[in-house]
Structure 1
């Protein structure tokens, strides 16, 4: 873990003492030719040479193989902004075995564009190019985001500064106002010297940063200022009065013979970095000083808010999220410092290399926290819809100390959903668990939870970032099992449903149970100390087989549960009791009183008096009784019986025989 800032001054001292050998000029893409490595970076000219060194390649004739930064077997592959041998800006590169050959990204902007298109699968650099999906893992950038969003994390890599490389003593000292006027076209002469301003190529991070520092934009830059390749003084400073923005780190590395030379010819002819009067200062500050014959950064200039800058490695935010489905551990291990995890690029060995290339190391190198110098930005591909997904439609089902979340995908956006982030928080707002699942998943369960109130959220993400979250809040409890038994019951008697509620966690269920038929509540009951309840129903349920739903209402610790039961109600069995005179005159009509009774009900309906199979007379019950007048009976003894024909609730029944003697 680093504890002190390592600057180029230390490296300069090492050069003089002989502990660091600087070799003859040379630079290349990953070597030998045809080398492919796992973590591919493109973009900024400013940081290409130091990244080449950290990748373990040969830079300016010196091999950095012994100090190569790796994550396990995963190494860096850093491709130059322009062709390293010929200087061509139109050459192609191939970054994967069997991958496409595509135009070399020249500068920070083009590097970030290539990273964007590597994610979207679009053609680089435009529709005339080729699809480069999956061909780039990170972008070197000497400036911050050009678009808002969260798709990319800009991880601080080192501290640089932007100076002004000039030729001629008339431009030894410049002010911010002078630079503004020179580059806007309103100032053409300084100290009697005609000025010849130049600007790095479009897409250069140094160009973007410098214009912002002097209060201009591409739109307000004078159209008469020609563009040149970034950080190459030999081609830019060919006459007195010429000036161009320049990475101070790159100038130091070139003049110190650490990086490939694009500037020493100009320096020999009088080119140098001008001193700049920084905002709020009365004097001018030089960006560099000399220690033991070597250039080294001036801390005050590098730390200045106007001309000092962080340089970045830009990575997809989702690739450095350890909880995400797109997490790239190798990328994380190389670039990210977070808590006790230190980026490989922030090791003491790596920072020695970084300092040797003219940069200053900071305590926040590798930070992914926007509050500590990291930045967030969106995709940098023009025409891409920047919208994030809407909230999914969420449903939650509670289980045994668990909750299952199910959702329906939100309406489609221009960029498809790539994954869903599921988060569970407790009643205190603390995150209990989080899970990222692929776009093909539409459910996730949190299990083994303690009892309590939780809030679950689900948000859909695409390459632009996460959208609005759908949420659910509820109490997680234990499950229960409800069982119910019944017995066949005659109409008029009380039907009973015996309900037993059980739990698997040793908690005796308490509370109420309810018995329904359809939407009609037939009865309720309260569980006893053993988790049982007997629910008595109406004695007047119709004669039929009833389909019952039996539910337990739950309590503070237990979930509801339910079951079904079948209850059969049969007709009541009646008692038929006739009362008749024993003797009657054959000239009179006997009266027979018949009483029909049944438990819990008063039978109604028809009663018949039979002699054998012959019906003598009929009557209708009223209040369970009827008196029936018989026809005149012939002399003799007549054996009769009463027959109750039954009803919808009471069975039919014959009485015992009785006799009447007619005289």
Structure 2
């Protein structure tokens, strides 16, 4: 279990006596040719502690036994802000075995710029490529650009003090510091002031100026620029003062970090006490415990001069759902849930405390709900902006959702790097998250429970997440519809026997609709076994019909449909006649013909034949007609009626009948 470790601070002031030998700063870059996986650059405030956590030898002490590594053995390569040994601020570094040499980042801002350049491919100020050469940036300050591309993971607590030379500057207020650095106050307690400020890329510079209310525009041009956290070159005269990392001061004076300040301390340089906002008296940033400097907790925790120090990483690299997830980076830097960052282990925090920082419980936190976690945008000057919304299509299947999308035609300033697909349930709970490469334009979720879901697809680039395309709908199981028919004569009721089955042993319920083209010709409701027989109109056109049979679905089953062929044939007619048996040869006989068919009343023409000769015709009305025959010659005549048929009824000949003409 992790413990809160910030109680190691005490209150007092430290003045280091003279006679201390000047130690030569130890070379702390990784050995030439000894490349490690996790490359860090930037702040010189945290460079020494990161070098130690990398397992290097710092100021004659080897930290190899406590080297921080990922679960897979990936180690840290921490490169100093200035060239070790020479102090050069214009040297170059090579961080990969096949990498190019690029300008050594000097300070927090420069480190974050180098990390941004590593992501975007923008070349550094010397024209060198930093693409894929940096994994994290050391930073003693927060973001300079808005956005979410970079996550600032807090490691520990530091504070910014004021290193001074001369007893006239033993105690300072925020108002005095503001006036000194804007040029309004040039003497204090009879002492001429010589204010110094770190280089422009320094996180300490940015933090200090913000704390005392000074901007680059209001900063006096008489303030000299010096290398950050190096008192020997800054405190060269009485009345000199410069903002200084308290952690760095402690580590240097205690002999833990390479010495850039002991000569100045031996000559009277020290950290001034500062009257913190809201306090009546001044507070020293440090105390002495067993002859060594130690942090003063009240100063470190103060909102004005206390600050978190960060390791800055690409946000997508520590997102386990991202295709850009870097497990080694995650193991070393991130504390989340049951996972504890290697930098937050007991051994690592013992090293962190040794270098003058105060350990906090939030070491490695990445959840933005914690106020110590920050996010920011790229700082290499690349264009901002996220991709436009893709066009989304969806198809539901058997407990599945199939998504496809078309990228927006609007080309963002930075190209799309990936697509993020998120599925949530009806309560808003996240069911699944999937990140896919920019070349992928479809994805399927399978094995889903039935219910209502919302799916979003976003196009992403290094600047962040674009506008989401959204689908909301029901995911159900599959149904299958089958249907059969039998050939049916016109006038009789044709029937469609329908059977619907559901996957996952779900019994179908609900309505079935039968259409002939766009016309609904029948509906029915499934019984408990998933079956229904639907009777159609008995007046469907004589033809072969292609019927669509559709099941509307249910709360658990998707809709389904099929087609079935139905053949309607002409009806069979029945012809009957009624005629006199005899007639005078001078009279005209009348014959009544009746034509019937099942389910319909035949229409059309009836002919009266004598042999093969038509002797009379008539038109049915209501299925009957009375036909008047011509006068018949004397004798016996054999006749029959013939119904010629219609578009719906077949033709039919009636039985012979005889009429005797007298």
Q: TM-score, normalised by structure 2?
A: 0.93
* DSSP 3-state at the match of 1:331: helix
Equivalences for residues 96-107 of structure 1 within 5 A: 96-107=96-107
Name the residue aligned to 1:166.
Answer: 164
Q: Residue 618 of structure 2 corresponds to which residue in structure 1? A: 619
Please give the alpha-carbon distance, in whole angstroms, between the structure 1 residues aligned to 2:618 and 2:217: 111
Q: Tell me how far apart the structure 1 counterparts of residues 352 and 7 of structure 2 sit (CA, whole Å).
A: 9
Partner of 1:270: 268
**1:27·1:61 contact (CA, 8 Å) conserved in 2?**
no
Where do residues 50-61 of structure 1 align in structure 2 (5 Å cutoff)?
50-61=49-60
Determine the C-alpha separation between the residues in 2 that align with 1:655 and 1:234.
Answer: 131
Residue 85 of structure 1: aligned partner: 85
1:156 CA drift (Å): 0.7
- Among 216, 235, 238, which residue is 1:237 paired with? 235
Match of 1:415 in 2: 414
1:426 alignment partner in structure 2:
425
How big is the shift at 1:4? 4.4
Q: Cα distance, 1:309 vs. partner? A: 0.7
Per-residue deviation at 1:374? 1.1
| Residue equivalent to 1:214 | 212
570 and 552 in structure 1: CA distance in 2 versus 1, 3 angstrom threshold: same
Q: Is the 8 A contact 1:637 1:660 kept in 2?
A: yes
Question: Larger deviation: 367-376 or 583-592?
Answer: 583-592
Q: Deviations over 1:357-379 (max 9, x none)?
A: 11111111111123331111111
- Kindly report which structure 2 residues correspond to 1:551-570, keeping only aligned pairs within 5 A, or say none: 551-570=550-569
Q: Give the C-alpha shift of residue 9 in structure 1.
A: 7.3
437-446 vs 196-205, which moves further: 437-446
Q: Deviations over 1:58-109 (max 9, x none)?
A: 2223222221110122111111112113222221112122122211111111
> After the TM superposition, which of the residue ranges 590-599 and 324-333 deviates more from structure 2?
590-599
Q: Which deviates the most, 337-346 or 53-62?
A: 53-62
For 2:25 and 2:9, the matched residues in 1 are separated by 21
Separation in structure 2 between the aligned mates of residue 259 and residue 488 of structure 1, nearest angstrom? 98
Aligned to 2:68: 69
Shift of residue 437, structure 1, vs aligned partner: 2.7
Q: Which one of 243, 247, 250 corresponds to residue 249 of structure 1? A: 247
Q: Secondary structure at the match of 1:340?
A: coil
Is 1:284 paired with 2:282?
yes
Residue 13 (structure 1) aligns with: none
Q: Which moved more, 1:625-634 or 1:565-574?
A: 625-634
Compute the displacement of 1:8 (Å).
7.4
Instruction: Determine the structure 2 residue equivalent to 1:499.
Output: 498
Q: CA deviation at 1:578?
A: 3.0
Q: 2:256 aligns with which of 255, 258, 279?
A: 258
Checking the alignment, whether the CA contact within 8 Å between 2:24 and 2:259 is kept in structure 1 is no
Among residues 172, 185, 205, which one is paired with 2:203 in the alignment?
205
**Aligned residues of 2:9 and 2:296 also touching (Cα < 8 A):** no
- Kindly report which structure 2 residues correspond to 1:304-315, keeping only aligned pairs within 5 A, or say none: 304-315=302-313
For the 8 Å contact 1:8–1:357, the answer to whether it is kept is no
Deviations 1:536-591 (A, max 9, x none): 11111111111211111222333222111111111112112233333334443333
Q: Does the CA contact (< 8 Å) of 1:6 and 1:351 recur in 2?
A: no
Measured against aligned partners, the alpha-carbon deviations of 1:175-233 in whole angstroms (never above 9, x if no partner) come to 11111011111111111111111111111100100000101122221122222211112
Name 1:353's counterpart in structure 2.
351
The question of whether the paired residues in 1 share the 8 Å contact of 2:152 and 2:373 is answered with yes
1:448 alignment partner in structure 2: 447
Match of 1:15 in 2: none
Q: Is the 8 A contact 1:143 1:209 kept in 2?
A: yes
Determine whether 1:110 maps to 2:104: no
Deviation at 1:400, TM superposition (A): 2.6
- In 1: Cα distance, 2:40 partner to 2:613 partner: 111
Aligned-pair CA distance for 1:23: 9.5
The answer for the alignment partner of 2:138 in structure 1 is 140
Tell me the residue number matched to 2:317.
Answer: 319
Q: TM-score, normalised by structure 1?
A: 0.93
Confirm or deny: 8 A CA contact 2:122 2:380 kept in the other structure.
no
- Deviating more after overlay: 22-31 vs 415-424: 22-31
| Aligned-residue RMSD, C-alpha | 2.2
Q: Distance in 1 between matches of 2:350 and 2:462?
A: 36
Residues 1:520 and 2:523 are matched in the alignment:
no
My pick for the range that moved more, 214-223 or 201-210, is 214-223
Distance 2:253 2:140 in 1: 20
Supply the distance in 1 between the matched residues of 2:625 and 2:481 (Cα, whole angstroms). 49
Inter-partner Cα distance in structure 2 for 1:611 and 1:602: 26
SS in 2 for 1:85: coil
Instruction: Decide whether aligned partners of structure 1 residues 106 and 24 sit closer, same or farther in structure 2, where only a CA change above 3 A counts.
Output: closer
- Matches of 2:55 and 2:68 in 1, distance apart? 7
Does residue 120 of structure 1 match 2:113?
no
* Distance in 2 (alpha carbons) for counterparts of 1:236 and 1:612: 137
CA contact (8 A) 1:7 1:297 kept: no
1:6 CA drift (Å): 6.3
Shift in Å, 1:606: 1.6
For the 8 Å contact 2:38–2:75, the answer to whether it is kept is yes
- The one-character-per-residue Cα deviations of 1:246-272 (angstroms, maximum 9, x if unpaired) are 111111112222212222222222222
- Residues 161-187 of structure 1 deviation map (CA, whole Å, 9 limit, x = unaligned): 111111222222211111101111111
Distance (Å, rounded) in 2 between the aligned partners of 1:117 and 1:550: 61
Residue 614 (structure 1) shift? 2.6
The answer on whether the counterparts of 2:43 and 2:203 sit within 8 Å (CA) in structure 1 is yes
Which residue does 2:337 correspond to in 1? Answer: 339
Query: Is the contact made by 2:23 and 2:259 (CA closer than 8 Å) also made in structure 1?
Result: no
Per-residue displacement from partner, 1:330-358 (whole Å, max 9, x unpaired)? Answer: 11110011122110001111111111211
- Larger displacement relative to structure 2 (329-338 or 424-433): 424-433
Q: Deviations over 1:281-315 (max 9, x none)?
A: 22222212222222221222111111111100001
SS in 2 for 1:458: strand
| 8 Å CA contact retained: 2:9, 2:297 | no
Residues 8 and 358 in structure 1, CA contact (< 8 A), matched pair in contact too:
no
Give SS of 1:337's match: coil
**Cα distance in 2 for residues equivalent to 1:578 and 1:123:** 107
Judging changes above 3 Å, is the alpha-carbon distance between structure 1 residues 476 and 242 closer, same or farther for their aligned structure 2 residues?
A: same
Closer/same/farther in 2, CA of residues 584 and 131 from structure 1, 3 Å limit: farther
Alignment map for 1:626-641 (pairs within 5 Å): 626-641=625-640
Deviation at 1:461, TM superposition (A): 2.4
In structure 2, the residue corresponding to 1:123 is in which secondary structure? coil
Q: Which runs of 4+ in 1 moved over 6 A?
A: 6-10
Match of 2:528 in 1: 529
CA contact (8 A) 1:108 1:203 kept: yes
Contact (CA 8 Å) 1:6, 1:355: kept in 2 or not? no
Superposed displacement of residue 149, structure 1: 1.8
Shift of 1:383: 4.6
Distance, in Å, in 2 between the alignment partners of 1:618 and 1:506 is: 65
Tell me, in whole angstroms, the C-alpha distance in 2 between the residues paired with 1:292 and 1:580: 141
